[in-house]
Amino acid sequence: MTILVTGATGQLGRLIVESLLERGASADQIVAGARDVSKAADLGVRAVHLDYTDPASIAAALDGVDSVVLVSGSEVGQRVAQHQAVIDAAAAAGVSKFVYTSAPKATTSDLVLAPEHKATEEAIAASGLPAVILRNNWYTENYVRDLATAAETGVLSSGAGDGRVASASRKDYADAVAVVLLEDGHIGEVYELGGDVAWTYSDLAAAFSEILGREVTYVPLSFDEQVAALRGFGLDEGTVGFVAALDAGIRGGALADTDGTLSRLIGRPTTPLVEGLRAAA
């Protein structure tokens, strides 16, 4: 079996390659697809040029490949077309397993990030590919910048209200990808993945306090207050609207659900919030 990992030089892609090796895949079974192949030199596996915007590079990268993990792209607004190019190439190549890293409840969520993932999941279904959908909740590492700000100000502010977030570390999600790639029996499944604990932003502030050794206070903001604050930071209107809508989704419970699927899949508890933040900071 040969496995292609797209986006292999990204933060999640690298960890997927490492997890595959840790869980028994040999280096010659793994192909690291990267826009800049030189950045994959330290992965210890064969690297190939793969650009989501270049269908020819995708087709070439799939030569001799049995399984593919499509790590969702990072360019919001362009991802549907980019993902479609990988789906089309994988279908043409006749791959036997296609794994996609999606978003929580992608087909029904009001989360601002969901529509591109929903469209991608629909494209995968339409392609007929033997697929596994991994709907990843938030990455704990997303809050490292907030931790740095809190170290200076002693404040965590957000428009998320009392919304809960079932985050896990990227390593946890990477291990889940490795499991479904290397094990039989997962094709056709859609897994909602999240951390074992759904925490509030008050809990996050307490975690910051423990890590920093100083009190960090959570200051909830209304939607309008957050918009004004983001504008005050000099952000453009598109970014202001996106961030405010994201936090509104969290406030509404878009990231709150967790049922232990991720920990059962990877065979261990997910990384606790404080531990994950410390490792990432």
Run means of pLDDT, 10 residues per run, the chain, 281 residues:
96 98 97 96 96 95 97 87 97 98 95 94 98 98 96 96 97 98 97 98 98 97 92 90 92 95 98 97 89
Alpha-carbon distance 140 to 155, whole Å? 18
Residue 3 — φ and ψ, nearest 5°?
Answer: -115, 125
- From residue 238, give the alpha-carbon distance in Å to each of 100, 220, 221: 27, 22, 19
- Predicted local distance difference test score (pLDDT) of residue 78: 86
- Predicted local distance difference test score (pLDDT) of residue 76: 79
55 contacts: CB under 8 Å, gap ≥ 6: 85, 88, 89
- Predicted local distance difference test score (pLDDT) of residue 49: 97
- Predicted local distance difference test score (pLDDT) of residue 77: 77
- Predicted local distance difference test score (pLDDT) of residue 74: 81
Structural contact between residues 159 and 251, judged by C-beta atoms closer than 8 angstroms? yes
SS3 at position 175 = helix
SS3 at position 187 = coil
